[in-house]
Amino acid sequence: MRPTPKGWKRFLVVPDTHGQFIHQKNAAKCIEFKKDFKPHKTIHLGDFIDATCLRHGASEAEQGVSFGDDWIAAKRFLEELRPNVVLMGNHERRLWKLIDSPRALVSEYAQHLVDDIISFMIKGLKAEWLPYHARDGVYEITTGKGRLAAMHGYHANMHACHKHAQVYGNCIIGHIHRIETSTAARDDGAICHSAGWLGDIEHMDYIGDKTGQFRWGNGWIWGYYNERTGAWKVNQAEDKDGAWII
């Protein structure tokens, strides 16, 4: 790895890993990269669990998929990654919604799991923890003019990347599992970088009939930022047919 320019720092942004559906080989590649790159700041964009059993419209078989195994797999990867910042994704939010369940057993168990996750993030990882919220769930890597933000993602259609650039300016997102960029139609030329994901499509039966999966790609984002000037540089790491381009 080349020396970092004076005044600049390194960052690593890791997108959706989906708990027990993580792509083991490619996730290990990401950890290997981090050890070499030694970023000053590591950000996980959320959906670190899949919560299959809580999916709206889940089949009887999907409702039987263990949440415990999912959370154990998520913790195992996060302990290796050691992020400084973790964002809640929409899959984690499935659990948070259950706290309001009218069924006491469901509500109380959901609260127990939520408390465990928050404690792990704050006390275990000592990471900054942000909610899944269109305003409060935005982490600023740099500030000021031309600032760069990171978030899980709040749009999911084919124009999602462009919409994020329109709304948030320069940003990095996960959520849509696609590796792509889009420049907004605004005078500052803001750009959104979609980092892809690090899940294993072979194990996610519930997306078997969704053609959108053909656009998904394993990857992560790494780059440099200057705290004094607010300048930044984004690079994409991408799995191309089993060969990593970093």
Output the pLDDT for position 157.
92
**Average pLDDT per block of 10 residues along the chain, 246 residues long:** 83 98 97 97 98 84 86 98 98 96 94 97 98 98 93 96 97 98 94 98 79 90 94 97 92
pLDDT of residue 158: 92
pLDDT score at 63: 83
| DSSP H or E stretch at residue 111 | helix 104-119
Q: For residue 11, what pLDDT is reported?
A: 98
Taken in order of first residue, the domains within the chain and their CATH numbers are: 9-53+65-245 (3.60.21.10)
User: Which tokens is 223 given?
Assistant: 């780059």
Q: How confident is the model at residue 44, as a pLDDT?
A: 98
What pLDDT, on a 0 to 100 scale, did the predictor assign at position 1? 63
DSSP string, 150-214: EE--S--STTHHHHHHHHHSSEEE-SS-BEEEEE-SSTT--EEEEE-B-B-GGG-GGGTT-GGGG
Answer whether 146's CB lies under 8 Å from 231's CB: yes
- pTM (predicted TM-score): 0.95
Output the pLDDT for position 33. Answer: 98
* pLDDT score for 236: 98
Distance of CA 56 to the CA centre of its chain: 21
Measuring CA to CA, which residue among 92, 85, 197 is closest to residue 149?
Answer: 85
Q: Nearest CA to 197 among 35, 41, 77, 95?
A: 77
